[in-house]
Structure 1
Amino acid sequence: MNKFIIIFLLLLPALSWGDSADNAYRVQASVVREGDTFLISASYHAPLTLCQAYQYLTDYEAAVKIPGVIESKAVRQPSGKVLVERSAEEQILFVKIKLHTLIEYTEYPLLGTEFTQIKGDSKRFSGKWSVSPDSDVGNSAIGTTIKYQGVLEPDSHVPMFILQYFIQNSLEDRFKLMARLAAERKNQVVVACK
């Protein structure tokens, strides 16, 4: 169970802790269990241009801002793919756990990314991130909606209902964290988008 929770958290982009002001980000998150697999979806608003939001999503090395993440290295491949290798160390109750994972990302400029775990502690982990102009037409401020969809099949001996409980109880907060970090980039100058 402990490895599963940490792997899930490692695979998300850079995070920080959320608070009640995060409602401004319109975070929505859900997890549905289908047998031994979890279908995870979430979305949030970011006060960023499309270019800023895309660059936020593809800043894989910023994951070191996550408590417990020791290292996050991204290596661009000639094929246009990006390999992201992450290591973390977490303490759950009295147990210290060290984890390592390798994920392959395919980038679609100004649209999002798709990813799949190449090796790690889950049987299967894949999904996609997308960015789009905010659909709230009444909002005159700059904004983007960032969406996430993922499929996770943990490799654990812990009962699935316990894993589901932990995912459900941390998912929305985790996406609030991401929304807040994205918002912190609002005034950050970005390089030209493709």
Structure 2
Amino acid sequence: MSARADGGGPELVVVCGLPGVGKTTVAETIRERVPGNADLLRTDIVRTDVVDDPDYTEDELRRVYDELFSRVDARLARGESVVVDGTFKRAMHRERARDLAAQHGATFRLVRVECDEDVVRARIAARTDDASDADFDVYKLYKEEFEPIEQPCITIDNSGSTAQTRECVIDALY
């Protein structure tokens, strides 16, 4: 994110999309550009802190997002910028993030990452030592459950190389 038009203040950037589309690649690219050393919070990491053996149930989803928003709130309260990487398949979570940013006077941006399904399948199959344990079945389930985005967002297609994606992110956001 570029600096706010008024010259300062924290930012909250939510990077959302289905498992395996490359949200983390996009989120890391954004985090590198947010002024003030923004933290990157991933729901995959929060999930491991909150749930021992994930089943991706609605109760787990609620617990993970409650903890995530608690962490975001604390950072924004300190005037720190935050980039969040998660599916945000529920509109209420995207709205909650926007409202939390507003409560702290932070700039809010929503970035949706998309990717060709064949590329997603290959990326998920190739994962090793990744914080995400979502497999292709979780991808398909979340694809059915992902609620439409009805607020302004930037869409990044991450079907190509990492270099192409980084260039796309920079062109779209900076």
Q: Same fold (TM over 0.5)?
A: no
TM-score computed with the length of structure 1 as normaliser: 0.29
TM-score computed with the length of structure 2 as normaliser: 0.31
Q: Which has the larger radius of gyration?
A: 1
Structure with the higher strand share, 1 or 2: 1
